[in-house]
Amino acid sequence: MDRLLIRGGQPLTGEIAISGAKNAALPILCASLLSSDPLHLSNVPQLKDIITMQRLLEQMGVTIERDGEHGLVLDSAGLNNPLAPYDLVKTMRASILVLGPLLARHGEARVSLPGGCAIGARPVEQHIKGLQAMGAEIHVEHGYIHARVGRGLHGARIITDMVTVTGTENLMMAAVLAEGETVIENAAREPEVVDLANCLVSMGAQIAGAGTDRIRIRGVKRLHGASHAVMADRIETGTYLCAAAATGGHVRLTHTSAAYLDVVVDKLLDAGCDIIVEREAIILQAPARLKAVSLRTAPYPAFPTDMQAQFMAINCIADGSAIIRETIFENRFMHAVELIRLGADIRIDAHNAMVTGVDHLEGATVMATDLRASASLVIAGLMAQGETLIERIYHLDRGYEKMESKLSQLGAAVQRVR
């Protein structure tokens, strides 16, 4: 099993390009199920989750061809097997996103329940309730969601009990081919939801309100093929900004935007960083020592839960103390124990973490527990004295394209070892 060996203490300097967003690309790949015409995608990141989704779609009858390093052409004209089996779904919860498109176009779907998640519960009840309101018959048996619809889905007013990104995306994809109008209340406002909506509109869908908590979809008879470029990954962008800040670095990140990172940029400014925002790039200059910054995670446009672990890492060596409150997932402080192994001063009390900055961290062997926890350990290793060995980095490969290569471009001493 691969591990990451980091020799810390080197400021990150230079320029790298940010990849396409995994959390935008996955639902957009599923959108290909809604049309029998080809969907041309660009800026698709090369990640394990993307490969898993491709395998899932291919076993359903979708033909996928690569178009350059980051391009894909998906053709679902031969869709013939509306099944998402457990062996694929268990490795990636985003597989649930095939449910809505399959029902809308094929009239039936059999999708394995995603199972457990290390960082907490992510219930699919909101997906099921919304699709039932649109006329689907759904039964959960033997670990599978069995869904079918007789004469097609119909529009409905859906009010979700909680803000759910994948739920909003699933219902939006189902609604684009439903008869009549669907209104999704309490919809997720994330930029990735907007990117999916933009792709669907380019395919002929009628969607208004994406990016707000009320989305209106007027169903159409069919969607056609289209071309779409996946948005830049805002979480990858934030992660490299934090890595540069933690190491006292100076970096320029290209092929990205600060438009969806306001709250992250604000926190880095509070920490003492100088930031210059260009049209498609961000420049960060770190101070001699960071200031501790407190934060509270919440759905977009508030502070993203996917950046909580990275900010916990930079607070470990910052001047002062900070309180981090996690409100999205009940078990997302597992990285704290590993940071403590490196010498961090962290106290956990339920959903709150008190982080007091220390003079330095010291390298040690640590274990990654989930995707963003992995990123926090990389940041910690980059600023620690000596060598840090991170085990179970397969989590990193799910969400960061060529991370060790990009870090090496910025001057980090990092290598993948077995």
Residues classed as catalytic: 117
Q: Are strands 387-391 and 365-367 parallel, antiparallel or unpaired?
A: parallel
Cβ–Cβ under 8 Å, residues 184 and 191: no
Handedness of CA 270, 274, 276, 282 (dihedral sign): negative
User: Which residues on adjacent β-strands are paired with residue 210?
Assistant: 212
Distance CA 374, CA 413 (A): 17
From residue 319, alpha-carbon distances to 153, 248, 357, 360 in Å are 56, 13, 6, 11
Separation of alpha carbons 213 and 143, rounded Å: 31
**β-bridge partners, 389:** 5, 365
Q: Residue 317 corresponds to which tokens in the numbers above? A: 């060596």
With tokens 């306001």, the residue in question is 262
Q: How far apart are CA 193 and CA 173, in angstroms?
A: 11
Category of 239 on φ-ψ map: left (φ > 0), alpha (ψ -120 to 50) or beta: alpha
92-95 contacts at long range (C-beta below 8 A, 24 or more positions apart): 92/49, 92/52, 92/53, 92/398, 93/117, 93/122, 93/166, 94/23, 94/26, 94/27, 94/49, 94/53, 94/166, 95/52, 95/53, 95/56
Residue with tokens 């290909």: 32
106-109: long-range contacts, CB 8 A cutoff, minimum separation 24: 106/33, 106/79, 106/82, 107/148, 107/149, 107/150, 107/152, 108/82, 108/147, 108/148, 108/149, 109/82, 109/83, 109/84, 109/145, 109/146, 109/147, 109/148
Cα–Cα distance measured from residue 361 to residue 364, given in angstroms and rounded to the nearest whole number? 9
Distance CA 406, CA 319 (A): 28
Q: Which of 104, 27, 93, 33 is nearest to 63 (CA)?
A: 33
Residues pairing with 319 in the sheet: 291
Say if residues 4 and 414 touch (Cβ distance below 8 Å).
Answer: yes
The CA–CA distances, whole Å, from 412 to 3, 35, 286, 314 equal 16, 45, 16, 17
